[in-house]
């Protein structure tokens, strides 16, 4: 059974292939690393602000936004979830 991250990754891949003008994901992907990167930076800032506000629900919301935008960046750069998992596992040593 795939987890939510894998499912979202697959949805983003589908949006990339479809290139629908109505798709937020497709619009960001069409802007490449520059456009996606700006969103990652924006969302990372919002995560820090939410953490400083010390409101768990707000922080969870903002982390979810950041993860989504990181997945967009990964899809655009052909980086798989397994690639990140492998790198993290290496760091346990």
User: What is the residue range of 54's domain?
Assistant: 38-83
pLDDT level of residue 93 (50, 70, 90 thresholds): confident
56 located within any domain: yes
The CATH number of the domain holding residue 45 is 1.10.287.1080
Q: Alpha-carbon distance 28 to 73, whole Å?
A: 9
Q: Is the pLDDT of residue 2 over 80?
A: no
Residue identified by tokens 């949006």 is 15
Q: Which residues of 77-87 are buried (b: 16+ CB within 10 A; e: fewer)?
A: eeeebeeeeee
- The pLDDT tens digits of the residues spanning 57-87 come to 999 999 999 999 999 999 999 999 999 999 9
In a domain, 79, yes or no: yes
Residue 8 forms part of a structural domain = no
| Cα(8)–Cα(61) distance, integer angstroms | 16
pLDDT exceeds 90 at position 51: yes
Is 5 inside a domain boundary? no
Domain count, the chain: 1
How does pLDDT run across 5-42, given as a tens digit for each residue?
Answer: 999 999 999 999 999 989 999 999 999 999 999 999 99
Quick one: pLDDT at residue 1?
Answer: 60
Transcribe 10-42 into DSSP letters.
HHHHHHHHH--TT-HHHHHHHTHHHHHHHHHHH
């Amino acid at each position: 059974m795939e987890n939510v991250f894998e499912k979202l990754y697959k949805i983003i891949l589908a949006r990339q292939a479809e290139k629908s003008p109505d798709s937020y994901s497709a619009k960001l992907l069409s802007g490449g690393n520059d456009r996606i990167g700006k969103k990652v930076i924006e969302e990372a800032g919002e995560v820090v602000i939410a953490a400083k506000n010390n409101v768990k629900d707000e922080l969870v919301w903002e982390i979810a936004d950041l993860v989504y935008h990181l997945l967009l960046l990964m899809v655009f750069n052909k980086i798989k979830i397994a690639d990140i998992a492998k790198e993290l596992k290496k760091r346990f040593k």
